């Protein structure tokens, strides 16, 4: 019997553009670098593929799930500075949406063992009203992104 995450990873393999898997050593090095541990969803994803382009290959994709080596603080990626005035230290880039827009993983709000994901639109970042939670977990985000037809599902309505 497959888990929801296994089903999503099979879809990434069949219809999208996954990178080769990260090694256990790469995961450990990543966690040492950032100072937090990957949750179950993210660990499963990165052991399956170290990043992926959804719908179209890089560089034409709207959804580029970053390889571990490119995950960094959102405030650095969006604002160019690693200072508290430029956003929370606990929001990390996870998905590059092009033009310095990202989906961010919020490692300060782990719930039920999983981190929520936030909208990281550069025009309003780091305003918490506009950097709202768009998925309660990576698996929820991935499921909605894969079903979106290459649209930013959280912008509907």
What is the tens place of the pLDDT at every residue in 32-63? Answer: 999 999 999 999 999 999 999 999 998 899 99
97 domain residue, yes or no:
yes
The number of distinct structural domains making up the chain is: 1
pLDDT reported for residue 1: 44
Q: What does each C-alpha distance from 92 to 7, 16, 55 come to in angstroms?
A: 25, 23, 23
Q: How far apart are CA 125 and CA 112, in angstroms?
A: 26
Place of tokens 């560089």: 59
- What is the per-residue pLDDT across 104-133, written as a single tens digit (0 to 9) for each? 999 999 999 999 999 999 888 888 778 899
138 domain residue, yes or no:
yes
**Domain, as residue range, for 131:** 4-148
DSSP 23: P
Cross-strand bridge partners of residue 134:
none
157 domain residue, yes or no:
no
Residues of the chain with pLDDT > 90: what percent? 85
State the pTM of this model.
0.94
114 domain residue, yes or no:
yes
* CATH code, domain with 15: 3.40.1580.10
Q: What does each C-alpha distance from 125 to 44, 48, 129 come to in angstroms?
A: 29, 31, 9
């Amino acid at each position: 019997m497959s888990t929801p995450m296994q089903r999503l990873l099979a879809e990434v393999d069949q219809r999208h553009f996954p990178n080769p898997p990260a090694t256990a050593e790469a995961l450990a090095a990543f966690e040492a670098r950032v100072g937090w541990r990957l949750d179950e969803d993210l660990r499963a994803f990165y052991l399956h593929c170290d990043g992926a382009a959804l719908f179209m290959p890089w560089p034409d994709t709207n959804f580029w799930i970053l390889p571990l080596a490119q995950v960094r603080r959102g405030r650095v990626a969006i604002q160019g500075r690693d200072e508290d005035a430029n956003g929370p230290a606990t929001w990390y880039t996870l998905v590059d949406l092009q033009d310095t827009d990202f989906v961010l993983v919020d490692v300060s709000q782990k719930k039920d063992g999983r981190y929520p994901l936030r909208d990281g639109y550069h025009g309003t970042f780091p305003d918490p009203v506009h950097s709202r939670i768009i998925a309660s977990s990576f698996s929820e985000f991935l499921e909605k992104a894969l079903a979106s037809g290459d649209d930013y599902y959280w912008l509907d309505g």
